[in-house]
């Protein structure tokens, strides 16, 4: 697509040579014009010509130059053309070997975006005869290449308009090169030639060229859009699958974790060899502690498991609806395209069945009337086509905005997913820390005096039971009593380790802190997860709107294309009429020439009869004598 339109200055935007107008101040315009003409015809290098001409301007007042420049007017259609180009979003550049004293004025008048001209050097208000600037040592194509690089486009996105040999490379390398009232060397290489002094013809050329390339560009954009939509759909599908997999994986991990904790709890609560020996109070305390340690974790995992199952069900349902919507849209678009093709075929068939006019039997005036009618119809068709193109642009813009909104929404949803995953990572880290504290706490408690006290008390209880239930001899009974007495003394001496008790309290506090973080972070992750699901749900609505707008775009584009075909057919018909008009003009001239030939033949035969009369000795009149002279008979 065209993005930049480049104009030459002298004899293109203005109807004169700037340097010639400056030369008039000094009365040396003839000398300057001769050098200019040679340069424009490519007979001398441009750099040599510019330096030679500027040297002759030495001493001219800059004040006089400014006054002359202000009086120079634009070529017809220059302002209207520039205004329309700007309205359509094109950038405008002026690249000229002329001078900034004129270039800057014209830049302001037409609202050009860039101007590249040479500079007339001056001192004390007088020209020094020296010149500088980008176009002294460089060609225009070099300046244009630098410009397109700077603004990030290519030469295939440029239109160049010039009139002289120094515009040749720029005209050849631009996507569209236009020779404007140009020298023969430029016309040979230009894509289009304008021989009238009306720059508005540039707009007609660009409109026709843009229309030719529009179909290809729009088809490409449609393919790109379709591909992007498929990519977005794939990303959404993959995201939903990822969410399902992650939810399932988290549930399984939590279930396994609970199972392991419960198994550990079963083992740690009541060791088999100690059941009978341990006191009931100690066992109950340890069972309560263990149960409290893991009760919250079990409830939390069960809640997460339920939520994950609900989310999984919602996402599966959303995925199924999404697939169904996509299939429905595809079927609808295909149906509309088939319908459009059938309508177009019917219109073409109707056009072919319409009886054609036999222009060969019409006279010039009838052909002229046909041409005027066709031109009027052509104007109406162009207006309808242009209106359809505007509607198509609006639909395409709205569709592209919706597609962008779709991408932005997906981006936010993915960011929410990443944020949720990061929080879940913190949840797992805090769970691990909490579990480590609980494991360490168990070790500290069993390594302290509690374990020894429990074992001694269990042995005492066992001996008492033996004494009470069994018949013992006196020696055996005394041994057992002594053993109980020793154990009781030993039990009194055992003191709990204060440092280990302190460490156990710290571990309990840490475990509670980590557990609180797990709860808080889990709630936060769940809230963000719900936001993520909401954004995914929004995607369906946005995509539906984008699909509707894309259908409107396709329908409008097809209508505009069909209308453009009618425009082309009407132009072809006008060219056909022109051909017959040329033939009709030639027929009167042919008939007149044929009539004159018959008249001359009869007149010559008459002259030969008069000559025979003269030979017979008869007297001739003056008219008869002149007729003989006319045909050199005597």
Q: Domains of the chain by range and CATH?
A: 4-199 (3.40.50.1000), 220-448+496-565 (no CATH)
DSSP conformation class of 74: B
Residue 23: name the closest of 87, 77, 98 by CA: 98
Token pair 């860039």 is found at: 114
Contact between 135 and 117 under an 8 Å Cβ cutoff? The reply is yes
Q: What is the pLDDT of residue 9?
A: 94
Active site residues: 8, 10
pTM of the model: 0.39
Tokens read off for 101: 């004293």
| Alpha helices, H only, 354-447 | 364-447
Q: Could you give the CA distance from residue 480 to residue 307 in angstroms, rounded to a whole number?
A: 61
pLDDT < 70 positions in the chain: 40-42, 212-355, 445-451, 493-500, 587-597, 632-634
- Provide the angle, in degrees to the nearest 10, between the axes of the packed helices 498-615 and 364-447: 170
Q: Report pLDDT digits (tens) over 172-215.
A: 999 999 999 998 888 888 989 999 899 999 998 888 777 766 65
CB contact burial 190-202 (16+ within 10 A = b; e otherwise):
bbbbbeeebbebb
Residue 411 vs residues 236, 238, 361, 418, 571: alpha-carbon distances, Å: 10, 14, 70, 11, 50
User: Rg for the chain (alpha carbons), in Å?
Assistant: 50
Contact between 89 and 69 under an 8 Å Cβ cutoff? The reply is no
Q: Could you give the CA distance from residue 244 to residue 315 in angstroms, rounded to a whole number?
A: 7
Cα 544 → chain centroid: 20
Tokens read off for 338: 């088939």
Q: What is the pLDDT of residue 354?
A: 54
Q: What is the pLDDT of residue 207?
A: 83
Q: What is the pLDDT of residue 456?
A: 82
Q: What is the pLDDT of residue 242?
A: 58
Q: What is the pLDDT of residue 492?
A: 72
Beta strand pairing status for 126-132 and 4-7? unpaired
Q: What is the pLDDT of residue 619?
A: 74
Q: What is the pLDDT of residue 78?
A: 94
Q: Could you give the CA distance from residue 292 to residue 515 in angstroms, rounded to a whole number?
A: 12
Q: What is the pLDDT of residue 630?
A: 76
Largest Cα span, the chain: 204
H helix or E strand, kind and range, residue 118: strand 114-123
Where are the strands (E) in 12-103, listed by range?
A: 91-99
The share of the chain scoring above pLDDT 70, in percent, equals 72
Contact between 38 and 49 under an 8 Å Cβ cutoff? The reply is yes
Q: Report pLDDT digits (tens) over 122-175.
A: 999 999 999 988 888 888 999 999 999 999 999 999 999 999 888 999 999 999
Residue 556 vs residues 68, 348, 566, 570, 586: alpha-carbon distances, Å: 52, 18, 15, 21, 45
Q: Report the chain's mean pLDDT, rounded to a whole number.
A: 77
H helix or E strand, kind and range, residue 284: helix 280-353
Cβ of 131: how many Cβ atoms within 10 Å?
Answer: 22
Q: Could you give the CA distance from residue 262 to residue 293 in angstroms, rounded to a whole number?
A: 11
Instruction: Give the 3-state secondary structure of residue 470.
Output: coil
Instruction: Give the 3-state secondary structure of residue 179.
Output: strand
Residue 629: name the closest of 312, 620, 264, 59 by CA: 620
DSSP conformation class of 44: S
Q: What is the pLDDT of residue 579?
A: 84
């Amino acid at each position: 697509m065209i993005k930049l339109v480049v104009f030459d200055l002298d004899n293109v935007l203005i109807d004169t040579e700037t340097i010639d107008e400056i030369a008039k101040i000094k009365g040396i315009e003839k000398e300057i014009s001769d050098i200019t003409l040679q340069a424009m015809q490519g007979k001398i290098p441009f750099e040599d010509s510019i330096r030679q001409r500027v040297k002759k301007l030495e001493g001219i007042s800059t004040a006089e130059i400014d006054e002359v420049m202000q009086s120079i007017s634009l070529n017809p259609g220059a302002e209207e053309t520039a205004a329309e180009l700007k309205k359509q979003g094109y950038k405008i550049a002026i690249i000229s070997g002329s001078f900034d004293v004129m270039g800057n004025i014209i830049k302001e008048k037409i609202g050009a975006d860039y101007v590249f001209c040479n500079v007339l050097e001056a001192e004390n208000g007088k020209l020094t005869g020296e010149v500088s600037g980008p176009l002294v040592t460089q060609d225009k194509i070099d300046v244009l290449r630098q410009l397109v690089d700077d603004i990030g486009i290519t030469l295939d996105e440029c239109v160049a308009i010039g009139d002289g040999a120094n515009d040749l490379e720029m005209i050849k390398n631009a996507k569209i090169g236009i020779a404007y009232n140009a020298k023969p060397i430029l016309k040979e290489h230009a894509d289009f030639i304008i021989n009238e002094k009306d720059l508005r013809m540039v707009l007609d050329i660009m409109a026709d060229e843009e229309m030719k390339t529009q179909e290809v560009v729009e088809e490409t954009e449609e393919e790109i859009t379709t591909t992007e939509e498929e990519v977005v759909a794939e990303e959404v599908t993959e995201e939903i699958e990822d969410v399902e997999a992650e939810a399932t994986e988290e549930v399984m991990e939590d279930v396994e974790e609970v199972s392991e904790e419960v198994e550990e709890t079963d083992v740690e609560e009541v060791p088999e060899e100690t059941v009978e020996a341990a006191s009931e109070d100690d066992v109950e305390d340890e069972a309560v502690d263990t149960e409290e340690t893991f009760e919250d974790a079990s409830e939390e995992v069960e809640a997460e498991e339920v939520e994950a199952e609900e989310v999984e069900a919602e996402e599966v349902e959303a995925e199924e609806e999404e697939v169904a919507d996509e299939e429905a849209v595809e079927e609808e678009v295909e149906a509309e395209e088939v319908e459009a093709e059938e309508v177009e075929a019917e219109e073409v068939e109707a056009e072919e069945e319409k009886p054609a006019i036999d222009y060969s039997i019409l006279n010039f005036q009838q052909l002229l009337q046909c041409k005027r009618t066709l031109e009027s119809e052509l104007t109406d068709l162009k207006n309808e086509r242009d209106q359809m193109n505007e509607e198509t642009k609006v639909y395409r813009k709205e569709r592209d905005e919706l597609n962008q909104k779709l991408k932005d929404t997906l981006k936010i949803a993915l960011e929410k997913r990443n944020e949720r995953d990061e929080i879940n990572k913190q949840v797992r880290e805090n769970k691990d820390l909490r579990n480590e504290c609980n494991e360490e706490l168990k070790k500290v408690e069993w390594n302290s005096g509690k374990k020894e006290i429990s074992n001694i008390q269990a042995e005492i209880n066992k001996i008492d039971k033996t004494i009470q239930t069994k018949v013992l001899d006196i020696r055996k009974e005394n041994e057992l009593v002594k053993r109980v007495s020793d154990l009781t003394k030993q039990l009194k001496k055992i003191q709990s380790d204060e440092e280990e008790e302190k460490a156990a309290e710290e571990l309990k506090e840490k475990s509670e802190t980590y557990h609180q973080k797990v709860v808080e972070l889990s709630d936060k992750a769940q809230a963000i997860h719900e936001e993520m699901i909401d954004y995914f749900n929004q995607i369906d609505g946005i995509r539906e709107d984008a699909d509707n707008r894309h259908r409107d775009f396709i329908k409008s584009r097809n209508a505009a294309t069909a209308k453009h075909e009618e425009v082309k057919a009407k132009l072809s018909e006008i060219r056909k009429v022109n051909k017959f008009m040329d033939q009709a003009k030639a027929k009167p001239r042919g008939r007149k020439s044929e009539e004159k030939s018959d008249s001359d033949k009869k007149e010559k035969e008459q002259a030969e009869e008069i000559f025979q009369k003269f030979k017979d000795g008869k007297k001739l009149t003056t008219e008869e004598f002149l007729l003989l002279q006319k045909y050199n008979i005597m």
